[in-house]
Chains A and B, each alone.
Chain A
């Protein structure tokens, strides 16, 4: 299969259209704007709708309308815009409307800056809107995954009739890598629950209002049952050299990539290190953590946030193994050198065997090919 070089943000739109998405509503924000720009170019050419909304509040409500009419819809934004969309996300979860929201995260709180950060974990994974709901959250770590997980996001959104968030940091959105796409497009279909302005759909109602307490409780329980099902069926994580890992590094998005680089160097230094990279942040891949805990001495969570995923890792391990934490924030990225030093220090403290790395040899090998 031939590949082409493409930005992550552009790959999202092309994959979305191939996955049957026919409407994009958004509002410009760095570092997500390329998604809206690509949608503005390609939606009209492919029989879809593109509207630049007056705000993220309007954009998410346009998703609500489009999804009500049975169309696969999406938007894209970053932290501050996602904050504004939370009202609409709660309504969509309540009314059981599918949609895909790409959050190309930046640094916060407030206006923060446009550097890559992972401080949106809480508002996206735990739900920043009101009420008892969840959103399924997928975290790509490459341009290929931007394409693949976008397509998956539409399938999951329809399957569970629930918003799905694609949470990628600014790096994954902005960088270019080779990517390949499916060569056939998913046909659009009209769900039987949609309100489409037809005789067949006339009796349908999209609604999140339920005045009767018992009725609303039953509705919430129904939503909960869906989430439980998703927890059983949809968790995804990548394991990288975890077979014999004594130290398991945990990170998602760009951090997952850095941890793979760290693993290569740590292994060269004789440390049994592996990476567990959650791909679904909700549902969280608890079982994988519990399985790796059998062999692992400790887990190291590396995040570009103040420890928002750390809580989920601790819950998953439930005290069975120590969990260490390394983070950078404000737009900074942990370098693989700094993670490696951290891991080596921990290994010394834990008395894990490591040989003195033959830096010179590794260096010579590398430079011979420059």
Chain B
């Protein structure tokens, strides 16, 4: 054939625009791919690139290639490219698509990558209905690493790690990814196609374009599983391996559409995305805008008084231990003091004991841990016994009980022991016992202005019925302390 006659040909099918004209990222042999002769990946790459071209989305497309023979998608696709960890492409694709809703994201994965190490990522991306397109190239083997068994390896199929052929008793059965994912409610479209003959290849091309088009239309998660030949690892000629796809693989992995919700999705109105707020609105939305914060009542504080209140509050979960501490800290902050509140946390709080450390001071608080409290609020006996020895000499124990246990008595510590829970119950709700006890603490310390306590109460308690009850409970606690002092 002379050069002249070649020039006269009209090119009916040229290389897709979305593939690089030369593979410069490969550095050498820039006219050829890293794929073996007869490998299905080249065909699938071409189909994907043609679909991108035909839909006119080259600039918007981002290919995510993980590990395996799909690892070098960035050599070939003239699109945005993100190389990812083994099996994690659907997680990577999820985040790209969520933050860049105009992008078209393709997760291009092999069967070892997707169905084994990445089984969680694909399942949950599909289940969230991420608006991405997954191209799943299934050749029933780990090829890049030299032919080890995959979850998709056929029964009886030999591999380097199933030298006698896959045995269901020890290696289980071939994993049917398309069928499995089709049981989910979120995916828009799932189809298995093959590269077993020209007819199958033509269908594969249509399916891939459709899956990409679904994403362009915003219909949701689409996955195309492509049964693909691997002549090198299968140790077959390219022609034989293509026949094997059609004659053997297809028997285990039947072709067809397993899930198609595109019609109903098209009919459904698209969710309106909420526009992002302006930057200057953010402090307000986050609740940290200075203009929205209360002025506080620092002016009501006696200036000369030194304050260093170290309080430990302990009781059963549900008695309002943490809230009592938070009230104290909030009121302290409102009064212009330095404060800290440190809770015990986690599962032990549920149905167990709970305690917190609160400090109020004029000085910067060094340690928020209160190991030697000046005031211990013990809402039950176990809590009293846990912390009574730690109270500082000259300090106070406020204890919820009819009688203070004799063996806990200390000569150097003041005690106010009253049945606070019963007192609160008589006032309307035993759950207000924490506020009665707080009233006693406040009366004893005497440093916080009432306005700060009112402000803290209103900040922390939203239900008006409880505000009213808690106000009475606080006042009652103050009275009780004064009465006890008068008696003493």
Q: What residues of chain A have their CB less than 8 Å away from a CB belonging to chain B?
A: 1-5, 14, 17-18, 22-23, 25, 30-31, 42, 44-47, 49, 51, 53-55, 57-59, 61-66, 68-69, 71, 73, 87-88, 91, 95, 114, 170-171, 174-178, 180-181, 183-185, 187, 195-199, 201-209, 212, 254, 257-258, 260-261, 263-264, 333, 335-337, 363-364, 366-370
A22 and B99 in contact, given A185-B283, A205-B83 (Cβ under 8 angstroms): yes
The reply on B226 being an interface residue by CB < 8 A is: no
Q: Residues of A contacting B345 with CB < 8 Å?
A: 30-31, 114, 170, 174
Query: Nearest-CB distance from B282 to chain A (Å)?
Result: 4
| 10 extra interface residue pairs, beta carbon distance < 8 Å, beyond A54-B123, A197-B105, A209-B71 | A5-B326, A64-B95, A175-B342, A178-B339, A185-B283, A195-B81, A199-B59, A202-B59, A204-B80, A261-B367
CA distance A95 to B287 in the complex (A): 36
CA distance A208 to B71 in the complex (A): 11
B282 to A46, Cβ gap below 8 A?
yes
CA distance A185 to B284 in the complex (A): 11
Query: Nearest-CB distance from A352 to chain B (Å)?
Result: 22
B96 to A178, Cβ gap below 8 A?
no
CA distance A59 to B128 in the complex (A): 14
B128 to A51, Cβ gap below 8 A?
yes
Most interface-central of A61, A63, A65 (chain B CB within 10 A): A65
A258 and B120 in contact, given A69-B103, A185-B283, A369-B308 (Cβ under 8 angstroms): no
Q: How many A-B residue pairs have CB under 8 A?
A: 267
The reply on B352 being an interface residue by CB < 8 A is: no
CA distance A174 to B340 in the complex (A): 11
Q: What residue in chain B is nearest A366 (Cβ atoms)?
A: B308
| Shortest beta-carbon contacts, A-B, top 8 | A47-B276, A197-B103, A65-B95, A367-B394, A65-B92, A260-B366, A61-B88, A61-B91
CA distance A103 to B333 in the complex (A): 28
Interface CB pairs A-B, < 8 A, 27: A5-B341, A17-B282, A18-B283, A42-B286, A45-B277, A47-B276, A57-B121, A61-B88, A62-B91, A65-B92, A69-B62, A114-B346, A171-B369, A176-B341, A177-B341, A181-B283, A187-B279, A197-B102, A205-B81, A212-B27, A257-B366, A336-B369, A337-B371, A366-B392, A367-B374, A370-B444, A370-B445
Q: What residue in chain A is nearest B447 (Cβ atoms)?
A: A369
The reply on B435 being an interface residue by CB < 8 A is: no
Residues of chain B in range 79-106 having any CB-CB distance to chain A below 8 Å: 79-85, 88, 91-96, 98-100, 102-105
Q: Residues of A contacting B308 with CB < 8 Å?
A: 366, 369
> What does the 1/0 interface line of B367-399 toward A look like (CB < 8 Å)?
111011011000000000000000011111000
Contact pick for B368, options A30, A95, A257, CB 8 Å: A257
A183 to B285, Cβ gap below 8 A?
no
Contact pick for A68, options B82, B293, B394, CB 8 Å: B82
A183 and B371 in contact, given A51-B128, A171-B342, A202-B78 (Cβ under 8 angstroms): no
A30 to B347, Cβ gap below 8 A?
yes
B99 to A176, Cβ gap below 8 A?
no
Q: What residues of chain B have their CB less than 8 Å away from a CB belonging to chain A?
A: 25, 27, 58-62, 64, 71, 74, 78-85, 88, 91-96, 98-100, 102-105, 120-121, 123-124, 128, 274-277, 279-280, 282-283, 285-290, 293-296, 305-309, 326, 329-330, 333, 338-343, 345-347, 365-369, 371-372, 374-375, 392-396, 444-445, 447
Q: What residue in chain A is nearest B117 (Cβ atoms)?
A: A57
Contact pick for B396, options A14, A257, A370, CB 8 Å: A370
A185 to B280, Cβ gap below 8 A?
yes
Q: What residue in chain A is nearest B81 (Cβ atoms)?
A: A205
Q: Residues of B contacting A1 with CB < 8 Å?
A: 290
CA distance A231 to B71 in the complex (A): 34
Q: What residue in chain A is nearest B83 (Cβ atoms)?
A: A207
Most interface-central of A5, A46, A337 (chain B CB within 10 A): A5
Contact pick for B95, options A5, A23, A30, A197, CB 8 Å: A23
Q: Residues of A contacting B79 with CB < 8 Å?
A: 202
A58 to B91, Cβ gap below 8 A?
yes
Q: Residues of B contacting A66 with CB < 8 Å?
A: 95-96, 98-99
CA distance A175 to B367 in the complex (A): 12
CA distance A66 to B369 in the complex (A): 39
B283 to A177, Cβ gap below 8 A?
no
Most interface-central of B58, B64, B275, B445 (chain A CB within 10 A): B64
CA distance A197 to B294 in the complex (A): 45
B58 to A46, Cβ gap below 8 A?
no
CA distance A370 to B413 in the complex (A): 12
Q: Residues of B contacting A208 with CB < 8 Å?
A: 83
CA distance A264 to B366 in the complex (A): 9
CA distance A264 to B102 in the complex (A): 58
Contact pick for B285, options A22, A30, A42, CB 8 Å: A42
Q: Residues of A contacting B447 with CB < 8 Å?
A: 369
CA distance A198 to B101 in the complex (A): 11
A369 and B305 in contact, given A65-B82, A181-B288, A206-B82 (Cβ under 8 angstroms): yes
B280 to A258, Cβ gap below 8 A?
no
Contact pick for A202, options B58, B287, B340, B393, CB 8 Å: B58
Q: Residues of B contacting A198 with CB < 8 Å?
A: 59-60
A58 to B121, Cβ gap below 8 A?
yes
CA distance A62 to B84 in the complex (A): 10
A64 and B392 in contact, given A4-B293, A42-B285 (Cβ under 8 angstroms): no
B394 to A61, Cβ gap below 8 A?
no
B95 to A73, Cβ gap below 8 A?
yes
Query: Nearest-CB distance from B158 to chain A (Å)?
Result: 29
Contact pick for A58, options B120, B343, B369, CB 8 Å: B120
Contact pick for A174, options B307, B326, B330, B342, CB 8 Å: B342
Q: Residues of A contacting B374 with CB < 8 Å?
A: 366-367, 370
CA distance A91 to B95 in the complex (A): 16
CA distance A178 to B307 in the complex (A): 17
Most interface-central of B93, B277, B293, B368 (chain A CB within 10 A): B368
B81 to A69, Cβ gap below 8 A?
no
CA distance A52 to B357 in the complex (A): 32
Q: What residue in chain B is nearest A72 (Cβ atoms)?
A: B99
Q: What residue in chain B is nearest A175 (Cβ atoms)?
A: B342
